[in-house]
Amino acid sequence: MARTYPLPHPGRRPSTPGLHRRGRLTAALAAAVLGASGLALAGPATAAEAAPTAQAAPAAVPAHAVTGYWQNFNNGATVQTLADVPDAYDIIAVSFADATANPGEITFTLDSAGLGGYTDEQFRADLAAKQADGKSVIISVGGEKGAVAVNDSASAQRFADSTYALMEEYGFDGVDIDLENGLNSTYMTEALTKLHEKAGDGLVLTMAPQTIDMQSPENEYFKTALATKDFLTVVNMQYYNSGSMLGCDGQVYSQGTVDFLTALACIQLENGLDASQVGIGVPASPKAAGGGHVEPSVVNAALDCLTRGTGCGTFKPEKTYPALRGAMTWSTNWDADTGNAWSNVVGPHVDDLP
């Protein structure tokens, strides 16, 4: 996902670790609200009274979902708090985690100064509130300028340990892999498998490969997606900043068209990923990427083409994929820059997919 500067499986039953993580955040948020109101928090008198706490489990990702990247930096797009992100977004990817000097290890620091004084305390409270509204908030790793090296078993372990530590500390529901400077499928798969073992089936795992990374199932990114298919949530490929690419029919398609979206999605859909694990990733505005922006109506046409067989361009898939997960945009901030024009159009359409 480009840090662009102006002129760049269906949700599953949560495991116990995810349940405890969300429960702690919800309790903390409730305590903060009640404390500010001057109300006392009393312990439950009976097991029945304690039962509601056990319901604070991570919400399942909807069958059709909208993913948006939230910028933890100011690059000229609208500066937002997490609370500002519109309700249309089902998965919010916090961009980005930072690499440490130890290969594979990541950390996260809120850019309070760049975000107009947004505090860590406010961020955590907003994150918990989004989750209470049924949203998933995950930490994104990589971006245009981010490089996390996972090239052996030791760094794979550090990646899993440090990512899970951030999930425990902040309450993130999972991780987004947006490594644009290459990855090793063997060891990234090892890292993600170890993370899944720690977090359980409540883990939300998304990926945002570039178009070149998903042209063939022999590519490292594609191999990673297939190797983690049993717990992968969605691959939101970046259908932009790439120029022309081959579609699944062997024809060349130009970015910025409905055919580019549908014919390239077809490669993933016909080479091992479940339809529920495929999403369409596009820029929210022309300023958000160097090329490949399409109007929200074109995104909706591509979604209809793939799920219903209507709205297609010259390319029409041989079959439909009603379980297609949905769409993604870079970023919620660039979306806000245009009055949320992207999410206002694409969000309701995704909700209405078959």
Query: Mind giving me the DSSP string for 63-112?
Result: SSEEEEEEESS-SSSPP--GGGS-TT-SEEEEE--EE-SSTT-EE----T
Cα torsion angle, 97, 101, 104, 107, sign: negative
Does an H or E element contain 342, and which? helix 341-351
Does residue 105 have an active-site annotation?
Answer: no
In the set 49, 121, 169, 180, the catalytic residue is: 180
> pTM for the whole thing?
0.86
Residue ranges in the chain whose pLDDT is less than 50: 3-56
List phi, psi (to 5°) of 73. -170, 165
Q: Which pLDDT score is estimated for 236?
A: 98
Residue with tokens 């995950």: 138
Query: Mind giving me the DSSP string for 187-205?
Result: HHHHHHHHHHHHH-TT-EE
Q: Which pLDDT score is estimated for 225?
A: 98
Q: Which pLDDT score is estimated for 1?
A: 56
SS3 295: coil
